[in-house]
């Protein structure tokens, strides 16, 4: 009986291996994609109360409240720290996933080009009432310019780092290594667009083009940092204009 069971398991395992080989299974890229899916799902079921408790343990309630107000939260841990741990366990080099400076001259030139192209898009998006209404809630609780600039700069920087590393670094380069740049760009843009659900409609729809463009930028420069600067500076500029309107 034991021999028959062992033979059955061996046969089943062999069949699974053969099928995996036939469809082009790659364990590293599968782990990368699965990790991103889990990281995007977890906040819907677990709010990270333990992370907040940890902040309280470090510096008490005032410290925890201040840290959260600057964007130091559970999502930062999920989107940055966890993928880094996964890469380390896989024996991967961080710079191969966009964390190096890459091609600096090309990065600077393309970033400038992106700014020029984005100016008319910025005007159209900013003039949209739905967009202004959505971001009005982001800035209206600030009392002074100093408070606004300090806090929003940190928040936007951390948010841009989280977003660019998870999608354009970890996911894009993880897929690219096995299936090529085009596949990496396409795969990362799908979850990136979906996380914009609930934002202003024009911004959510526009995130498709933005996600493709930032994915292409990451591939061309071999780095996420140019996307971090672009993403963050444009988002901060939006908030500055909204805050100015509310003054």
Q: Write the pLDDT tens digit of every residue in 211-244.
A: 999 999 999 999 999 999 998 988 888 888 777 7
Quick one: tokens of 171?
């996911």
H helices of the chain, in order, are 2-23, 27-45, 49-69, 74-76, 82-89, 104-126, 129-139, 145-163, 172-179, 181-194, 201-221, 225-246
Question: Helix, strand or coil for residue 218?
Answer: helix
**Cα 194 to Cα 180: distance, rounded to the nearest angstrom:** 23
Residue 1 confidence (pLDDT): 58
**Closest listed residue to residue 220, CA positions, set 190, 187, 176:** 176
**Cα 13 to Cα 130: distance, rounded to the nearest angstrom:** 54
Q: Write out pLDDT tens, residues 42-67.
A: 988 888 888 888 888 888 888 888 88
**Cα 100 to Cα 166: distance, rounded to the nearest angstrom:** 15
Quick one: tokens of 131?
């967009």
Quick one: tokens of 148?
């606004």
Q: Which range of residues forms the domain containing residue 175?
A: 2-246
**Closest listed residue to residue 224, CA positions, set 182, 188, 196:** 188
Residue 32 confidence (pLDDT): 94
Q: Write out pLDDT tens, residues 156-186.
A: 999 999 999 999 999 999 999 999 999 999 9
| pTM of the model as a whole | 0.88
Quick one: tokens of 206?
């526009």
Residue 148 confidence (pLDDT): 82
Question: Based on the structure, what is the number of domains in the chain?
Answer: 1
pLDDT above 90: residue 105: yes
**Cα 205 to Cα 196: distance, rounded to the nearest angstrom:** 8
**Closest listed residue to residue 78, CA positions, set 47, 104, 101:** 47
Contact 199, 184 (CB under 8 A): no
pLDDT band at residue 8 under the 50/70/90 scheme = low
Q: Write out pLDDT tens, residues 119-136.
A: 777 777 777 777 767 776
Contact 189, 168 (CB under 8 A): no
**Cα 81 to Cα 73: distance, rounded to the nearest angstrom:** 12
Residue 243 confidence (pLDDT): 78
């Amino acid at each position: 009986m034991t021999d028959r069971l062992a033979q059955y398991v061996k046969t089943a395992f062999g069949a699974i291996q053969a099928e995996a080989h036939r469809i082009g299974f790659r364990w590293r890229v599968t782990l990368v994609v699965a990790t991103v899916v889990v990281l995007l799902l977890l906040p819907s079921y677990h709010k990270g109360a333990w992370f907040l408790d940890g902040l309280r343990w470090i510096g008490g309630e005032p410290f925890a409240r201040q840290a959260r107000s600057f964007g130091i939260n559970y999502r930062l841990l999920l989107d940055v720290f966890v993928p880094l741990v996964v890469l380390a366990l896989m024996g991967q080099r961080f710079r191969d996933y966009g964390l190096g400076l890459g091609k600096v001259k090309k990065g600077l030139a393309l970033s400038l080009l992106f700014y020029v192209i984005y100016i008319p898009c910025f005007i159209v998006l900013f003039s949209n009432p739905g967009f202004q209404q959505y971001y009005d809630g982001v800035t209206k609780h600030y009392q002074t310019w100093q408070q606004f600039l300090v806090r929003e700069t940190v928040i936007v920087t951390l948010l841009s780092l989280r977003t660019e590393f998870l999608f354009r670094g970890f996911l894009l380069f993880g897929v690219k290594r096995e299936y090529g740049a085009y596949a990496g760009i396409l795969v990362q843009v799908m979850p990136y667009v979906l996380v914009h659900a609930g934002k202003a409609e024009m911004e959510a729809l526009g995130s498709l083009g933005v996600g493709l463009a930032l994915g292409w930028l990451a591939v061309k420069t071999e780095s996420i940092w140019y996307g971090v600067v672009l993403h963050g500076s444009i988002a901060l500029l939006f908030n500055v204009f909204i805050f100015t309107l509310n003054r």
